[in-house]
Structures are given as C-alpha cells and as structure tokens.
Chain A
C-alpha cells in the first residue's frame, strides 16, 4: 500500500514544488510540439492562474503535472519535469495522483457513482485504504467543500455548481499537495463560479495546497492568485505577479482577456493621467481611484 499521511510531502520545503526545464512535448502523430521549451517554477503554496488563448498548450502542460503525459498519452517528451521531489517520467499516474489532483471543466466527465459519498471515497478505495481511514477522509473532504448535506444524493441530480464541488471533494479526499483545475467554472453562473473560487482559495490558504487554475474568466479569478502564467503557441510568454503580468503590454497583445479593472487603468494612463500600481480587481480599483479622485 502507498504510504499516506497529510505531511507526506517529503521534498525540501525550500525547493519549488513544481519545476520544469525546457519541457517540450509532441502528441503521438503530431508534427509540431504542443508545448515548447517550457521552464516553469511553482513554489509550495502558490495560487497560480494559467491562461492564454485556446490551443496555447495550457491543458497539455497540466497533463504533465500528474503524469497523464507521458504515461497515458504517449508521444515525445523532452526536458526535465519534477513535481514534489518526484521525477514524473519515473512515477506512474496512480502514484502521482496522490500528490496532484486534477479537476476538469465538466464535472459530469468525472462523477459516476450512485451517491456523492461513494464518488468521494472511490479514489481512496482504489488505493486500498482501510475503511475507517476512508470514512474519516471523506467526511473531512465533504466538510471542507461545504457539501456535507449532499452526502446521500446522486451526483447526476445535482446542479452544476454542486457537482463541481463534489469533483473537488473527490480530489481533496486524496489529500494532494497540488490541485490542478482546468477551467472548473466555465459551466457555472458567476455566483456559482465565485463560490468555487472561494472554496479553492480556502484550501490554498488553510491547508497550503498549491493551486494551478486554468482560467479564462480573469475578472472573477485574479484576486485569488499570487502568480500568473500566460502561454501562447506552446510557450510561456509571461510569468510573474498578477499586477505585473496583466499590466504588461504583451498581455493585451496576446489577446488575453485581462481584467477590466486593469484595462481601465491602462486607458487612463494612456490619456496622461499619472497613476501608480495597477489594480487587478474591483476592490483594488476602487481604492486606487479614490486616491486619484481625491488628489485633484
């Protein structure tokens, strides 16, 4: 049985939790690599937003983090890929799954059991955990995602937002150090999306889980992140703090939907208003604008 405890991260805490060096990958039958020369460092506890135009390689990169590439999708992988202290190429998907949880865009693709509880227990059962341990973990995961009252319900009867919380609970029950969420809110209404981001943010803050969130809806998501990565045509083009990344001219040129608050700031600056900083959400914008309006 695989060793399991919440403090299982045995890598050096000072080392990055994810590190890739010149990672290049081509799908089987592909003529062009889908990601090219990707060098990325993610620190433990980071909340990363990974964004960029459709087809830029975001999903492909995420598939590397839990070993789906190269173990499930064959193809050609070059460069270095370390997650935790593990060289992903040398560790199978079932091992990586204990470290890296993956949540997809459409929870319906991920849920299949007759009750929420059973779905959340599935991963642990698969790894042969003792019954008591499973029960404890499932309770905890349901509680953390705020869906205890849905325990007995059938996943397919739930709303999209509830289903997505179940999908997160499934992954959380495995106590991963890293959660990778690939556009988890695109089927949800804005309030539903906000609730999901809040659940994720809490897991990040309270449990120190490193989050990689693939997202187009930057207006809603940016305020939770401390690290933004923008990809285009298979490479990383921008990598840094949200303010720096969204405020850079190239973010706009790549056609990333930078938050409206940041865009407003750029418009004012282009028109000769002297401004410091750059807001990425409405709260920051209000604060900064209040300063500007008062100054005059």
Chain B
C-alpha cells in the first residue's frame, strides 16, 4: 500500500529529518511508528500523503509516485488526523466540519448528508452536530477530526499522537475503535510514544531514532528489548520492567501487557504449590 524507498528529507532550516528510510506497509496492516521527540516520525508520515516530498528516494502510495500526483488525490486514499486537532478544525459546527472535505471531493449532496450522519454517530458526536468545534473538549475535538477524515473513507488512516491529552477511558475507547477499524480492513498507522498504549494494542512497531529506522517487528519483540528502547528514548512498559526484574525465577521476559502478565504469574504460582 505504501512503499518508501531510500527516502531523505531536509527541512529548509537545514534539519536533516530523514536519512535514508525504507519501509513497506501492506494493505490492512496496523503499524505504530515510535521513537523520541525529533526522531523523524511525523516527517515520515507526512510523506505518506504527499504533504512532504522526498529530497532523495521515492514514495509510492498504492503504486503511484507521490511526486507525480496532487496532495488532494493522495488525501482521498490516505486520511490524516493531526496531533493537534486545532490545526485541522475551522468550521462553524461539527456537521459542517465533516461535510467540508466531502464537498471538496465532489460527493453528491445526499451522500454528504448520509456520510456526515454516519461519521457523527460512529464517534459518538451526534449531540454536537450544531456545536462549534471550539466549544468541544480536547478529546471531543480529536474525535471530530477523526470523524471528518473517516467520512470520506480513505483506505489508510494516519493518526499522529492520538493519545495525547486523552484520559484512560478515552484511550481505551480509542484503542477499541482503532482495532475495529483495522479489523474492517483499513490500514491504520499511528505515530506515538505512548508505550503502554502500544503494549495494549499490539501492532507492528517501527522504531525510529535520529532520522532512521532502527527496528521493525512486532510489539513484543521491540518493546521488550532494553537496548533498543534506550536508543529510541522509550521506556519499556511497566509490566515488561517487572518481568525483566524477575528473570532469575525462570519467568519469560517478553511480557508486555497486564493480562498476559497475570496469567503467567498465576500459572507459575500454581505449578509451584503442586505437591
């Protein structure tokens, strides 16, 4: 679906944000791009819909070179939810916000209407149909930004730091929602440094540091590797830290979430008390 081949990118200020990145994301995958602040995560995903174009190397979206097509046609395939919803919302009310892109893409009026209703409902925003985005809470604004993107049904959804400013319950709802989207066949890409969220979701993890990809694998492999974590300024999940500290009891050290952890400890304790 997305193919990145040897991409370099330098900002006009001289900051080299990407230094030779190659990555393939297949249709229907769920990928978390992780790494420290300034590692190049956001710069990388902005290549996916042509917002930024590589200085060297190439980016193919659905087989099409991003240099050869408009951002608008790419946006149809790759929907983007920014880190700060305030950079994205500007209409008078939630309904218009969602309708905006649909009208721009030239959908028929009836389709616009039904898609707006569908998207509001999907993200639990129906009661805010007529409310100004700026009257909504941070979490609600984030959901509205997501609703306005999902409304045009892009094949790929990119969410930049979706968990920032979200409380525990909102995160849990977001997690279920993302997993559901992915199960319905959407390619979901999240940019995040929320290790606990990634540990709960369990996606493929692409780890970046200083403009390069330093690791690529499943969440378990990557989050439990202490050296890698250090390189990319992430801290292993709390559960992983606990199991690393208990390694000498012969317990596994590649445990990332609390349910799996509870089960392993219970089994271990049962084994021990057997006569």
CA of A165 to CA of B219, assembled, Å: 31
Contact A260 B246 (CB under 8 A): no
Please tell me if B110 contacts chain A, counting CB pairs below 8 Å: no
- Enumerate chain A residues within 8 angstroms of B265, measured Cβ to Cβ: 264, 268, 273, 289
CA of A160 to CA of B193, assembled, Å: 13
Partner of B258, one of A52, A105, A255, A263: A263
Contact B234 A260 (CB under 8 A): no
Please tell me if B164 contacts chain A, counting CB pairs below 8 Å: yes
Q: A54-B139, A296-B269 are in contact. Are A190 and B37 (CB under 8 A)?
A: no
- CB-CB contacts of A84-113 with B at 8 A, as 1s and 0s? 000000000000000000000100000000
Please tell me if B89 contacts chain A, counting CB pairs below 8 Å: no
- Enumerate chain A residues within 8 angstroms of B193, measured Cβ to Cβ: 188-190
Please tell me if A259 contacts chain B, counting CB pairs below 8 Å: yes
Contact B36 A286 (CB under 8 A): no
| A–B complex contacts, Cβ < 8 Å, 14 sampled | A53-B170, A105-B165, A161-B37, A186-B164, A190-B234, A191-B234, A216-B168, A219-B196, A257-B167, A260-B261, A263-B258, A267-B259, A268-B269, A286-B242
- A285-B238, A289-B246 given; 19 more Cβ-contact pairs under 8 Å: A52-B167, A54-B165, A159-B37, A159-B38, A160-B37, A161-B37, A190-B195, A220-B235, A257-B167, A259-B238, A260-B238, A264-B258, A264-B261, A273-B265, A282-B241, A285-B242, A289-B265, A290-B246, A293-B272
- Enumerate chain B residues within 8 angstroms of A191, measured Cβ to Cβ: 36, 233-235
Contact A264 B262 (CB under 8 A): yes
Contact B235 A268 (CB under 8 A): no
- Enumerate chain B residues within 8 angstroms of A281, measured Cβ to Cβ: 238
Please tell me if B69 contacts chain A, counting CB pairs below 8 Å: no
Q: A53-B167, A260-B239 are in contact. Are A192 and B233 (CB under 8 A)?
A: yes
Contact A296 B233 (CB under 8 A): no
- Enumerate chain B residues within 8 angstroms of A289, measured Cβ to Cβ: 242, 246, 265
Please tell me if B268 contacts chain A, counting CB pairs below 8 Å: yes
Residues of A249-264 whose CB lies within 8 A of B: 255-257, 259-261, 263-264
Contact B168 A257 (CB under 8 A): yes
Contact A53 B235 (CB under 8 A): no
Q: A183-B165, A289-B242 are in contact. Are A260 and B171 (CB under 8 A)?
A: no
Task: Identify whether the interface residues of B are mostly helix, strand, loop, or mixed.
Answer: helix
Q: Give me the interface of B with A, judged by CB distance under 8 Å.
A: 35-38, 137-139, 164-172, 193, 195-196, 233-235, 237-239, 241-242, 245-246, 249, 258-259, 261-262, 265-266, 268-269, 272-273
From B169, B238, B269, residue with most partner A Cβ within 10 Å: B238
CA of A194 to CA of B235, assembled, Å: 9
Contact B164 A267 (CB under 8 A): no
User: CB-nearest residue of chain A relative to B273?
Assistant: A296
- Enumerate chain A residues within 8 angstroms of B170, measured Cβ to Cβ: 53-54
Contact A267 B167 (CB under 8 A): no
CA of A53 to CA of B245, assembled, Å: 32
Contact B137 A273 (CB under 8 A): no
- CB-CB contacts of A155-172 with B at 8 A, as 1s and 0s? 000011100000000000
Contact A256 B168 (CB under 8 A): yes
Partner of A189, one of B139, B171, B196, B234: B234
- Enumerate chain A residues within 8 angstroms of B167, measured Cβ to Cβ: 52-54, 216, 255-257
Contact A190 B233 (CB under 8 A): yes
- Enumerate chain A residues within 8 angstroms of B249, measured Cβ to Cβ: 290, 293
The 9 closest A-B pairs by CB, nearest first: A257-B168, A286-B245, A267-B262, A282-B241, A255-B169, A189-B193, A190-B235, A296-B272, A191-B233
CA of A124 to CA of B209, assembled, Å: 39
CA of A219 to CA of B36, assembled, Å: 18
- CB-CB contacts of A216-239 with B at 8 A, as 1s and 0s? 100110000000000000000000
Please tell me if A11 contacts chain B, counting CB pairs below 8 Å: no
Please tell me if A14 contacts chain B, counting CB pairs below 8 Å: no
- Enumerate chain B residues within 8 angstroms of A293, measured Cβ to Cβ: 246, 249, 268-269, 272
- CB-CB contacts of A177-221 with B at 8 A, as 1s and 0s? 000000100111111101000000000000000000000100110
Contact B246 A189 (CB under 8 A): no
CA of A252 to CA of B35, assembled, Å: 30
Contact B168 A271 (CB under 8 A): no
CA of A52 to CA of B170, assembled, Å: 12
- Enumerate chain A residues within 8 angstroms of B233, measured Cβ to Cβ: 189-192
Please tell me if A277 contacts chain B, counting CB pairs below 8 Å: no
Shortest distance in angstroms between A278's beta carbon and chain B's nearest beta carbon?
Answer: 14
Contact A261 B238 (CB under 8 A): yes
